[in-house]
Amino acid sequence: MTVRVDNNIKRQFDALCEQFGMSVNAAVNVFINAVVRTRSIPFEISAKMDPTSQALLDMLYTTDRSNRPDLTMEEIDEEIRKARQERRERIEREKQEQLETA
C-alpha cells in the first residue's frame, strides 16, 4: 500500500509514533484493523454542507419514502449538475473573498 502524505505531517506522525513506541507501519495497521473490526472510522469526519446538498441528503435518508416521487436518471443527473455548479460558485466566491481580504 502506498499513501501520499504531506512531508511536514509525516515528520510529525513519525515523531508521535516513536513516542508511542511503535513504527509508522504498526500505527497504520492498528488503524486499518480498527476500521475493519468496527466497520467505521474511529473518529468523526465532517464538513460544512451547503443547504441544497443537506436537503438532498436529508431526503435520501428519510425512512418514509412513500410520499417521495421517484426521480428519473435525467433528474438525478440534473440535481448532481446543479450541486456541482453551486459548489464551484461557492469555491470561487471564497477564493475571491480571500483575495479581497489579502
Grid cell listed for 25: 507501519
pLDDT tens for each residue of 47-94? 677 788 777 777 777 656 566 567 777 888 888 888 899 999 999 999
Q: What confidence score (pLDDT) does residue 68 get?
A: 57
- Give the predicted TM-score (pTM) of the model: 0.43
Cell digits of residue 20: 508511542
Whole-angstrom distance, CA of residue 51 vs CA of residue 81? 15
